[in-house]
Amino acid sequence: MSHIYQPLMLRELLLNGGRASREAIARAILEHDPSQVEYYEQVVQNMVGRVLTSKPDLVRREGREYELVAAPELSQDERRELIGICDEQIARYLAARGAAVWSHRRRQGRILSGSIRYEVLKRARFRCELCGVSADERALEVDHIVPRNHGGSDDISNLQALCYTCNASKRDRDDTDFRDHKNLYQQRESGCLFCETARSGIVAENELAYVRRDGFPVTHLHTLVIPKRHVASYLDLTQPELNAVHQLSVSQRTSLQSEDGTIAGFNVGVNDGAAAGQTIMHAHLHLIPRRSGDVARPRGGIRHVIPGRGEYG
C-alpha cells in the first residue's frame, strides 16, 4: 500500500463490520494525522491563545502550556457551571454562524479540483513556496495568491503551495490592501507596442500574460512571453505574474519542440533596463530556440552579451 490512508480506511471498514460512512473514515484518518494537530497548535499560539493570555488575570502561558488562573479556587459545581456556559456559547455561535465558522479551512466554499492541486504542488516540487519546507515534514495547502473574495481566480497562475504554518501566518498577519488589485493588472500604456499587440499576433495567453513571436527574431520561432500589465522591469512583476509567465514559458517550450524537431535547447533571458539592452520598456522574457551547430562555439551562452566574456574555464 502506497499511503497510510489505505490501511486506515480498510481498518475502519473492518472495525465496523465491513461498512463505514465517508465521515467515519475521515475521522479515522484525522486521528492519525499529526499535521492537523500541528495546524491547530498554530491557531492556539497565534490566535486564541494570544487573545486569552492578553488578560493576565484569566489565562497565562508557561512554555507550551496554558493555565486558567482561577482554576485552583473553583469548586466542582462552579467548574460544571462554567463548562455549561461555554457549551451554551459554542452552541449559540454555531447556530448563528453555521458552516461559516470553518470557512477558512474550506477555502471559501469552492473546492479546487484534485488535478489543479496536484499541478500546483508538482510545480512547487512538493515544497512550501515561502519557507521551503518539504511536504514530508509539514502538510502543504494550495492557496490563492490574490484571494477569491478580492477577485482572484482559480487559474493556476494565481495559486501557490504553502505549508499550513505559512498559510496561517499569511492569513493572520498579511495586511496588504487588495482592493485595487484588479486595477493593478489592468494597467496599460498608450503607444506601448506590447500593451497594444493585436489579438491576431497572440500565440497563447493566460489571465496575466501572453505569448507572441519576436518581430526581429534571433533564430526561427524566437518567442516572447509578456505580462499584460505595463511594467518596465521584469524584477517588479508580482508573484502571480511571474507564475503566469513561467507557466506559458514551459508550455511554449513543449509546443516549439513539437513544431520543430531540430530545436535542441533554448536561451531564456531578460533585458532589464536600457544599459542591459532593453529597447521596449515593457517587461518581457525571450525564449530563443537553439539548434545544434547554429553557431561554431555555443559555450558560454548569454555570457556573450559582453564581447570577449563568453569564453571561460
Residues with catalytic function: 284
Q: Is 19 exposed, middle or buried (0-12, 13-18, 19+ CB in 10 A)?
A: exposed
Alpha helix segments (H runs only) across 98-160: 114-123
Cell 520561432 found at? 221
Question: Which candidate, 144, 151, 116, places its Cα nearest to that of 129?
Answer: 144
Question: Which candidate, 280, 292, 122, 281, places its Cα nearest to that of 216?
Answer: 280
Task: Give 267's contacts (C-beta < 8 A, 6+ positions apart).
Answer: 286, 288, 290, 301, 302
Task: Give 187's contacts (C-beta < 8 A, 6+ positions apart).
Answer: 229, 230, 231
Strand 209-213, strand 204-205: pairing: antiparallel
Single-letter code of the amino acid located at 49: G
